[in-house]
A and B are shown apart, each in its own frame.
Chain A
């Protein structure tokens, strides 16, 4: 029963959503499918409680056992509770919450995103080292595309923007479309395998 019930639920929900995408049966589309979507939102909301419980359990244990760098766990839990409790009691428009969100959270988020610039440089350096023929092709293409996208490239040679555009519209687009066709077929077959109960790996079995 532990396996049969989830497989049956997956089959019913999967077929229902699949059919609803192609055929709109008035009552079913509005009420039954809509009801399933509401359930999904409610389950996701409860799952967030599970996530918070997981964080609490792990970090309280760290603090109690005095594990290495336990003070980081204290900071995490305090931040989590402050950011959760303030908007619940005083709404999200509260001055303290707005201050914390704008001046701490947004800056931290922006910092992580900004790191990408440096990581792109270091990853590019490693990828562009000419060790194989493919790496050499990658380097030449990258230089043409980069020079084509900058004003200095057009100053050096007027052909750079043209060849850069040619590489991107012909080779990159063709490659991307090929990968997308393969991935779309893969996703469709994976979804059907799960709906029909052939793939049960999400239970932990083989």
Chain B
């Protein structure tokens, strides 16, 4: 009866999710009490200020893409992490009176990007500079969107190209389009197969977990920073599991592997 209700091969994942949730709540409680958590410097995020500054000096626009993932699939977290960076970029462009162009592939992301940019312009007291025509939906077709982005980068001669979110085959098209337009490029994704393209073609790149840490890093909100500490804790657990797995497999002791095969397949 119980096996019909509980998905047995996801039991380990359930345990880990509960453990991470509890750790997150404890870390948040500590942050509320005033505990300060340290985050290492992330060069890619520091470079955003430099990129927007460069665009301001050159009098040219900044282009931002939140990736091509929707909000209803497993890569949605990357889009949401990208939106946190968009908020920071919008605050900077509002502050320095620099033009910001945001291109969207997924129609459901469009109203969110509009709201994020509008709210951040409002927070800087620059609502009159917010231009809704610069938050554009291009196409929900992957390569049509890529072609549209390239066209905008080339025509508007964007000075900074910031790409944060989930990208697939179009990643290199964007990066090379930005390079051809002469822009400084900051990219971030957790899609491992696209990372080499961004690393090769962009000036700065956020790798995997750095993208998810971006929102907390840029906002410096203690409660969000506490979340990054939980990520670190999770990594320690992962390292321990790797060591245990390596030792038990080397010693030909299959108990752990059999346990994981049954409850974490």
Residues on A lying within 8 angstroms of B by beta carbon are 18, 21-25, 40, 43-44, 47-52, 54-55, 57-58, 61, 69, 108-109, 112-113, 115-116, 119-120, 122-124, 126-127, 176, 179-183, 185-194, 196, 198-199, 201-206
Contact = CB atoms under 8 A, between A and B. Distances in A.
Given A123-B172, A183-B208, A204 B111 contact: no
Given A123-B172, A188-B20, A201-B116, A50 B143 contact: no
10 contacts: A24-B7, A55-B138, A116-B172, A119-B176, A127-B201, A179-B192, A186-B211, A187-B190, A201-B116, A204-B122
Nearest to B141: A109
A205 B211 CA distance: 18
A201 B209 contact: no
The 4 closest A-B pairs by CB, nearest first: A204-B119, A186-B212, A51-B107, A182-B209
A69 B116 CA distance: 30
Contacts of B84: 199, 201-202
A198 B209 contact: no
Interface centre among B106, B123, B140, B192 (most CB of A within 10 A): B192
Interface residues of B, number: 82
A124 B212 CA distance: 27
A180 B238 CA distance: 11
B215 A199 contact: yes
Contacts of A25: 5
A189 B232 CA distance: 11
A23 B140 contact: no
Contacts of A54: 110, 135-137
A69 B87 CA distance: 31
Contact of A181 (B74, B138, B238): B238
B10 to A, nearest CB: 5
Contacts of A49: 107
A126 B201 contact: yes
A193 B213 CA distance: 12
A198 B28 contact: yes
A55 B223 CA distance: 38
Given A112-B146, A123-B172, A187-B77, A24 B4 contact: yes
A85 B141 CA distance: 18
A123 B201 contact: yes
B52 interface: no
Nearest to B114: A54
Kindly name the residue among A22, A49, A120, A190 whose own CB sees the greatest number of chain B CB atoms within 10 A.
Answer: A190
Given A109-B143, A199-B224, A55 B235 contact: no
